[in-house]
Amino acid sequence: METPEATGATVPPEVSPNLLEPLVTVVAILGELGATPGDVPLAKPAGSLRAGLVTLILRICRAMEHRQGEATYLRRALATAGDNWATVATITRKWRESVASVEAAWATIAEDAMRLQDACGAVATTGATTGVSKGNLAVAVARETSACQDVLEAARALPVASEWAAMAEAVETHTTRVAEASEGLQAATKATEATVVTMLDTMVARERGRLVAVAHEPLGRLVTACHGATLFYRHLRCRLEDIEATRHGGPEAPGVAQGGPGGPEDLLAAVTVAEALWDASARLARGHLLGTLQKVRGLLVTPNATVATVVAQRCREATAALPGLLPQGPR
């Protein structure tokens, strides 16, 4: 595929490599989350934090693998179409639709990341506000001990009577007392068991809450970075809409006269800027980010400190490479 450098096109200095940074930031934050130990069950459809992140990565990969070539086709059409502005219009529209599709994909990814953050926030809140303490268990054990003592005292109180009728009544009273004490002990034992189970659930919930609390802040940054990626493609789509608005009038439209503002030279310059952004994002993904995302996916499945270090290093290298992805404009 031809690049602006290959055709001698120049890109104005207003096109900053910083526009591409959100794409790298998304991958870096995912690597950071993958390096965080532990996993947390979440409500469906995510299933768990790591499963939700793996699904997010698959969608990000699809968004980054956008089609290429429309920019070069449009620049060629502008140079060769002559009066055939219908050809230029068709190519511009197809390119804009491609960009809009990628923009929509990133908008959906940002929404998915936000839902994942909200699910983690719910778990963190639950872990912090529900459950029983060791004090609750101590109270339950004390009640069970007291109930056990009641059973022992009831059993020791053997009936004593001189007459048979009185003896039968005393045995019946004794039996009733022992039965009542046994029922009390049984209830107290069940209450202790239930308290133990609840206490264990509380410990698990609090540990889950701790894990998601650690992940909640980077998830917030991930949402912001995904919105940044969406804005990058929205910025590009708006540039293409401006190009469409210019070419709709054809070469004789007011303000599109040869050499005037909005003329063929300005139109070609606008196309060159859009092409530089579109191609740079594709080259960034192909040369740096897609391979790194595969490593992040493996990191989420099997945490590994060495892989986490590699991911972080690759993201730093991608950031350093951003200026070289865009041709230098006139100084």
- Bigger pLDDT: 45 or 103? 103
Residue 130's contacts (CB-CB under 8 Å, 6 or more residues apart) are: 202, 205
Domain parsing of the chain, residue ranges:
4-130+203-325, 134-197
The predicted-structure confidence for 5-32, as pLDDT tens digits, reads as follows: 444 445 555 678 889 999 999 999 999 9
Residue 252 confidence class, pLDDT cut points 50, 70, 90: very low
**DSSP track, 154-189:** HHH-----SSHHHHHHHHHHHHHHHHHHHHHHHHHH
pTM: 0.71
Please, how many CA atoms are within 13 Å of residue 287, restricted to the half-sphere of its CB?
Answer: 14
Place of tokens 């620049």: 75
The predicted-structure confidence for 119-168, as pLDDT tens digits, reads as follows: 887 776 654 444 545 565 566 556 666 656 665 665 555 555 555 556 66
pLDDT of residue 9: 47
C-alpha to C-alpha distance for 95 and 214, rounded to whole angstroms: 41
- Bigger pLDDT: 9 or 322? 322
